[in-house]
Amino acid sequence: MPEDTAPGRPAEIVIALSCPDRNGIVHAVSGFILERDGLILDSQQYGDPASGQFFMR
């Protein structure tokens, strides 16, 4: 458990990723978090048509 997390309080984690843009990325990431009993409090994503890259935080 991280030192800055109080006992009994879940850790807060920020995930940032980039990858080639394609269908299903948000579904895959949210499914991964759900399978681990995680909770998404905020999500931002952007697909750059010029580079074909997807960014998510």
Predicted structure pTM score: 0.76
**Partner residues linked to 17 by β-bridges:** 56
User: For domain 17-56, which architecture applies?
Assistant: 2-Layer Sandwich (3.30)
In this structure, what token pair is assigned to residue 23? 């269908």
Task: Report the pLDDT value the prediction gives residue 8, as an integer from 0 to 100.
Answer: 77
Task: Report the pLDDT value the prediction gives residue 5, as an integer from 0 to 100.
Answer: 62
Task: Report the pLDDT value the prediction gives residue 3, as an integer from 0 to 100.
Answer: 61
Q: Encode the chain (57 residues) as per-residue pLDDT tens digits.
A: 456 666 777 789 999 999 999 999 999 999 999 999 999 999 999 999 999 999 999
Q: How far apart are CA 39 and CA 36, in angstroms?
A: 9
Domain boundaries, the chain: 17-56
In this structure, what token pair is assigned to residue 52? 């074909």
